[in-house]
Chain A
């Protein structure tokens, strides 16, 4: 078999074949049995490769019981009926197959997934080290390894949670039931009530803790085990002596706990920073629109009047310490109040800016802050559309929504044979939903509320007739999700990307609590934007979580720490990055022009241990002092 044929098949199976290559392969497959045999062999290899390399996403029947990605919408005439049947069957399956979880051979097995992780956290599987990203499904046999700055929260399908502290190694044992071996470190466990007959245990080198519904802390450091039960009861057995005792709430066993881990309520964060008075976007020819929401601006926003309930601004919450921010309000039991809809380019609605231009590629950046402590998922986040009619009918759109705690990219097209088919706004019957891309950073998690987060989105339309479109989002400067090979517009060229929406809209059924989101420093550009520009001695503001002391570091793009704060007192919320509050790595007096990001740690009392370092967040740029004035 020729190498050329292998390469042709390989390119096709990898999804990177050109239209000509696909046609060539198609012809050969129809004509030649040897090509067909080779194709099936290589397809099996591709499948095996993915199975081995990727995380647990096999489409076995049990997977049906788990959360599923949003579906590609079916486009048959009986789609609704079909979906209804599928939904009904799926509902039966979700119930029916969940029985397997309790069947004797699978009884109460771990079904753990990573909820959040910080710092150095790695999953060791089959000799490979895998990143512990949110949503990562764990297997029996996996070892979760945390570095000195690591922390990791795991959640089981039954709702139990394991919070692994810094420098912990936990092995999920490969045997029936839920069993894990704490090799070293400390686990804070909140265990949901187990089914009768289920087994759940955590072992260390010298003790075994068997559990029914309870809450406890188990640690194993310096070759000794300690246990403190906070709720319920556990059975504690010393391996050496075989003695066993029931430990109830308030009780402890093993040696004294060496040092109380810092009971910091949640990971510390930099909530806000003070941007330079003058941002570069006003003079940048690539910028289509810039709005710091400090004043009411009529014109390119449509379907609302500035100052009306739909376009309310807040002067209490804003990026920096002056001006205002756009406000989205989510009353209990309602979709939400607030929408900022920008028209630009060839938008047929409203009064677009740059009306004489067409845009096929845009970046848009927004700072977003979710009300502190309000961790409900606010549904829609932002949408970029190609509107082609006065009634807002969309030729294509990229929807970015909150799902669980992360953002999800959903590309959608209504173009068929070179013509948009949507006849009204959100014409779902004419939408073709591409495969979504799910983000990783839990921006709606409680730990991330109450701070400004920099979100930059990117949409590039396909070349007409090709599928080379691209969409991505970056959160705090880190790539969070992307989708390539997009074909959003087919050969349609009459309208480009011409509207960006921010709307308060969530599922009413889940709208159980009231909350707010604020938006600030909105930029739309044809080039990458990046975070705000700060002065060379930037001022940063810590989220006001209770602590006794805290420390801050400023790192550059390469991950090198460029500034170390002194130990800062709890009442120091706002700190200037200068030589009086810390030291620069180069003995300098201010940050050099460049891109930076922050991390911090806190402790609750003088004698307590420091919390792990937070992940790097709250990026900013420093420009030459003369240009930032």
Chain B
């Protein structure tokens, strides 16, 4: 049986302690164990905080490259797994965004690079360009205005009619297709598509106006 690494033991014991069931090595003093758990806890927190800063940017990139937002969610989870696995490789936390972005680009390339025609996706060259468009700066700063954008969108949604909000709910929250949405609202798929396109166009414009206003001195 391979020897358990210090990191593995730390992770295992960190969890198991929460469940009051960790068989601690006999040579590990209480103080050392507590210190390790504290270290582990801190590491989790740092990773979580860094990932949360980046996840919208990553998801927007993956979703736009795949034109399938559920698939993007799946792939983002895979990205998170790999990021966590390689978290120790990051010396400077300011580079976390660029590191995460690189992993997302690589995983996207590996999983879907050969299937873009069949899946009716952008070509690898165009995806590289899109990836560059979403790439955070190396110094850790980027243009992600996710919170402001959400805030603006929340207000913009209030301007929509109840029927349009219902259409958005069905399409994005319940994740059902245009035909099924049409069935639920007694309409036809073409009209639903048109209404959703109009709604998104209205929202895009509204978001931009609000974000631009906030940037005024």
Contact = CB atoms under 8 A, between A and B. Distances in A.
Q: Do A and B bind each other?
A: yes
B14 interface: yes
A15 B73 CA distance: 15
Contacts, number: 214
A211 B129 CA distance: 55
SS class, residues of chain A in contact with chain B: helix
Contacts of A37: 133
A128 B169 contact: yes
B89 interface: no
Q: Quick one: which of B68, B85, B133 has the most chain A CB within 10 A? A: B133
A100 B14 contact: no
A332 interface: no
B51 A19 contact: no
A57 B110 CA distance: 24
Given A6-B204, A22-B122, A487-B118, A45 B153 contact: yes
Interface string B157-179: 10000000100110011111111
Interface in A83-138: 86, 89-90, 92-93, 95-103, 126, 128, 130-131, 133
* B-side interface size class: 35 or more
A10 B201 contact: yes
A103 B37 CA distance: 11
A90 B78 CA distance: 9
Q: Quick one: which of A30, A54, A63, A472 has the most chain B CB within 10 A? A: A54
Q: Quick one: which of A7, A59, A90, A96 has the most chain B CB within 10 A? A: A59
SS class, residues of chain B in contact with chain A: helix
A39 B127 CA distance: 11
Given A40-B64, A53-B168, A45 B180 contact: no
Given A16-B193, A52-B154, A36 B133 contact: yes
B149 A99 contact: no
Contacts of B141: none
A447 to B, nearest CB: 23
B122 A100 contact: no
Contacts of A102: 18
Nearest to B133: A40
B105 interface: no
Interface residues of A, number: 81
B70 A43 contact: no
A47 interface: yes
Nearest to B60: A47
Given A86-B78, A470-B179, A479-B183, 13 more contacts: A30-B125, A39-B133, A44-B146, A44-B149, A46-B64, A47-B63, A51-B56, A53-B173, A61-B48, A72-B111, A131-B174, A133-B174, A467-B120
Interface of B: 8, 11-12, 14-15, 18, 40-41, 44-45, 47-48, 51-52, 55-56, 59-61, 63-64, 67-71, 73-74, 76-78, 80-82, 84-85, 110-111, 118-123, 125-126, 129-130, 132-134, 145-146, 149-150, 153-154, 157, 165, 168-169, 172-180, 183, 193, 196-197, 200-201, 203-204, 207-208
